[in-house]
Amino acid sequence: AEDKKAIKAGIMSGEHADVWRVVVAQAAEKGLSIETVVFNDYTQPNEALERGEIDANAFQHQPYLDNQIKTQGYHIVRVGYTGVWPIGLYSKKYKAVADLPQGAVIGVPNDPSNEGRALRVLQNEGVIKLKDGT
């Protein structure tokens, strides 16, 4: 019998890890062994992949990967597609977007690719108006 090595896949904690439990189980049914390595910081999976500590990762969209390659000099390429999680608005204080007061302070991601996604969501919800061309 051939000795099969598990593929080490870097994933994010939380909902990503919940979904990946199902992925790992379904892969096992087809004879594929996947070992997940869970990260809590979005910079860590690409760093680990670049260093050869994992075989693959699945947590980012293409604009984020492109930015990471440009800014960090990674030698990583996309080899397939996975799901992209929707971005959302979360609050402990407000129950709906309509409840946000004028001048409310809203945090957005601090990386260019996800910041753009967040700003478009805020515009789509009528919270902000972006200048044309942004």
State whether 14 and 63 are in the same domain: yes
pTM > 0.75: yes or no: no
State whether 19 and 64 are in the same domain: yes
The better pLDDT of the pair 69, 117 is held by 69
Helix (H, G, I), strand (E, B) or coil at 36: strand
State whether 93 and 64 are in the same domain: no
How many CB atoms neighbour CB 44 within 10 A? 18
pLDDT, residue 1, reads 46
Mean pLDDT of 114-132: 90
- Cα–Cα distance measured from residue 16 to residue 133, given in angstroms and rounded to the nearest whole number: 33
pLDDT, residue 11, reads 96
Residue 80 lies in a domain: no
Per residue in 27-82, pLDDT (tens digit) is 999 999 999 999 999 999 999 999 999 999 999 989 899 999 999 999 999 999 98
State whether 22 and 46 are in the same domain: yes
pLDDT, residue 12, reads 94
CATH number (domain holding residue 63): 3.40.190.10
Total domains in the fold of the chain: 2
Per residue in 78-105, pLDDT (tens digit) is 999 987 777 888 899 999 999 999 999 9
Residue 63 lies in a domain: yes
Answer yes or no: are the C-beta atoms of 74 and 66 closer than 8 Å.
Answer: no
- Cα–Cα distance measured from residue 17 to residue 9, given in angstroms and rounded to the nearest whole number: 11
Residue 78 lies in a domain: no
Residue 57 lies in a domain: yes
State whether 68 and 110 are in the same domain: no
Residue 77 lies in a domain: no
pLDDT, residue 134, reads 61
Answer yes or no: are the C-beta atoms of 129 and 123 closer than 8 Å.
Answer: yes
Query: Residue 114's domain spans which residues?
Result: 87-134
Contacts of 72 (CB under 8 A, 6+ apart): 46, 47, 50
